């Protein structure tokens, strides 16, 4: 059995969590503030506001930016559903732009045509850890006076032309669910240089409390999106080790790239020359001739974790029902999504396991071909 993903927890993480439990302060305490300061320094921004998931971080930014009823946000459908749902939470409308066939990120040449009077923001997703083309996105945003929200949930430590993601737009969000590069259990964090956005997010995260700090004074609609101290302690220990964690992932990615290149039916991840990739998942794409679902099913039966990353958001049942999207609306997104597969990828994956995965994929591609020929 080789799982799809798994966290990398050392004694340091355990020690810091135990320290919190012994301290008696389990919420809104020093570990949260320490984690936020470390994250702000890591990204190179003024503010970091921790929260209880990447989803709540994205939601708070939409609210803090005043994006609401009838407003439009340009984003990608080739992502995890939360990057579009956060727009719906505030009754605004996601406007999907197709993706670039090589990087799977927003096709920046198609954004301008989708901008209308109602457009308030562009929300790129650095998909699978590959930074989107931020030069083009920022240029369009400043031309049309739009916010830029980086969904960096899959891309901590990734760089666009030498600058870390998260700090490249007006605000960014990282997520720390256990399948991400680093984890806090559940958790997320907003990063921004914008003082006003930071202040609003602090308030929204904490039941809409005002800056006066009075516990029972609520000045706006807020939520309980706070990160607890045990999660923050995990975050501190993981962020201390982030270079090591990302290097492990780079090692595994290089092994796959080397060993899979001999299989002609596989299109390997393309890493753009302008970026430093932060490997979140390792996603291969099969040639048109390969039945991805058959290969996936048989790999799963053999105990090899794999999953179709991503099923396009616009074709999720609830989006189809609500917006009437249909196959063919985003041809590149759909073509890519039909053939992509995430394969086992985590820090401690050994070369021997990589070899097993590669051999199994090769066998199952051959098997799938035989099925076609029968």
Q: Residue 324 burial (CB < 10 Å; 0-12/13-18/19+)?
A: exposed
* Stretch of 49-57, 189-197, 211-219, 253-261 lying at the interface with ligand PLP (CB under 6 A): 49-57
Binding mask 101-130 for ligand PLP (x = CB under 6 A): ------------------------x-----
CB of 83 to ligand PLP, least distance (A): 4
Q: How far is 113 from 131, CA to CA, in rounded Å?
A: 22
Binding mask 65-104 for ligand PLP (x = CB under 6 A): --------------xx-xx---------------------
**Total residues found in the chain within this entry:** 374
DSSP structure string for 143-162? HHT-EEEEE-TT-TT-EETT
Distant-in-sequence, close-in-space partners of 295: CB < 8 Å, separation ≥ 6: 286, 341, 361, 364, 365, 367, 368
What residues numbered 2-21 form the site for ligand PLP, per CB under 6 A? none
Pairing type for strands 72-76 and 119-123 reads parallel
Angle between the 351-373 and 242-260 helix axes, to the nearest 10 degrees? 40
Q: What is the dihedral of CA 183, 188, 193, 195, to 10 degrees?
A: -140
Number of residues in contact with ligand PLP under rule CB under 6 A:
14
DSSP structure string for 327-355? TTSSHHHHHHHTTEEEE---TT--HHHHH
Per the listing, tokens 């958001």 go with: 313
**Torsion sign over Cα 111, 114, 117, 118:** negative
Q: Do 2 and 304 form a contact (C-beta atoms < 8 A)?
A: yes
Binding mask 168-207 for ligand PLP (x = CB under 6 A): -------x-x----------x-------------------
Token pair belonging to 17: 């969590």
Among 5, 50, 53, 75, contact with ligand PLP (rule: CB under 6 A): 53
Q: How far is 257 from 161, CA to CA, in rounded Å?
A: 23
Among 13, 154, 229, 364, contact with ligand PLP (rule: CB under 6 A): 154
Per the listing, tokens 């004074």 go with: 217
* Stretch of 48-56, 228-236, 247-255, 258-266 lying at the interface with ligand PLP (CB under 6 A): 48-56
Residue with smaller CB distance to ligand PLP, 153 or 336: 153
Token pair belonging to 168: 């490249």
CB of 181 to ligand PLP, least distance (A): 11
Among 55, 105, 181, 203, contact with ligand PLP (rule: CB under 6 A): 55
* Stretch of 61-69, 141-149, 150-158, 270-278 lying at the interface with ligand PLP (CB under 6 A): 150-158
Residue with smaller CB distance to ligand PLP, 226 or 364: 226
Does residue 312 touch ligand PLP according to CB under 6 A? no
Residue with smaller CB distance to ligand PLP, 153 or 360: 153
Catalytic residue of the set 31, 180, 276, 339: 180
CB of 126 to ligand PLP, least distance (A): 8
Establish whether 276 is a catalytic residue.
Answer: no
Residue with smaller CB distance to ligand PLP, 177 or 325: 177
Residue with smaller CB distance to ligand PLP, 80 or 279: 80
Active-site residues: which are they? 180
Binding residues for ligand PLP, rule: CB under 6 A, are: 53-55, 79-80, 82-83, 125, 151, 153-154, 175, 177, 188
């Amino acid at each position: 059995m080789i799982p799809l993903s798994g966290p990398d927890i050392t004694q340091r993480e355990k020690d810091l969590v135990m320290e919190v439990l012994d301290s008696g302060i389990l919420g809104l305490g020093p570990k949260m503030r320490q984690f936020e300061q470390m994250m702000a320094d890591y990204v190179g921004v003024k503010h970091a506001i921790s929260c209880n998931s990447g989803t709540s971080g994205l939601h708070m930014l939409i609210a803090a930016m005043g994006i609401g009823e009838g407003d439009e946000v340009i984003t990608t459908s080739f992502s995890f559903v939360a990057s579009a749902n956060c727009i719906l939470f505030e009754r605004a409308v996601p406007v999907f732009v197709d993706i670039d066939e090589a990087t799977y990120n927003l096709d920046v040449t198609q954004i301008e045509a989708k901008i209308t009077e109602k457009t308030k923001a562009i929300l790129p997703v650095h998909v699978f850890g590959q930074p989107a083309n931020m030069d083009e996105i920022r240029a369009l945003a400043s031309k049309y006076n739009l916010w830029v929200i980086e969904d960096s949930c899959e891309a901590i430590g990734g760089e666009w032309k030498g600058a870390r993601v998260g700090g490249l737009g007006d605000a960014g969000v990282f997520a720390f669910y256990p399948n991400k590069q680093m984890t806090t259990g559940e958790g997320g964090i907003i990063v921004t240089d914008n003082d006003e956005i930071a202040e609003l997010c602090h308030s929204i995260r904490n039941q809409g409390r005002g800056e006066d700090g009075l516990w029972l004074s609520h000045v706006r609609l807020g939520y309980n999106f706070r990160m607890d101290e045990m999660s923050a302690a995990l975050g501190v220990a993981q962020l201390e080790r982030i270079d090591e964690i990302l290097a492990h992932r780079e090692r595994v990615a290089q092994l796959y790239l080397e060993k899979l290149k001999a299989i002609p039916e596989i299109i390997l991840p393309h890493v753009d020359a302008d970026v430093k990739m932060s490997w979140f998942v390792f996603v291969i794409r099969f040639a048109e001739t390969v039945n991805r679902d058959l290969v996936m099913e048989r790999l799963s039966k053999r105990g090899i974790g794999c999953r179709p990353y991503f099923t396009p958001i616009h074709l999720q049942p609830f989006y189809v029902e609500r917006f009437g999207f249909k196959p063919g609306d985003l041809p590149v997104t759909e073509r890519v999504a039909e053939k992509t597969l995430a394969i086992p990828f985590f820090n401690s994956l050994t070369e021997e396991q990589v070899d097993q995965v590669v051999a199994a994929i090769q066998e199952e591609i051959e098997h799938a071909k035989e099925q076609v020929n029968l």
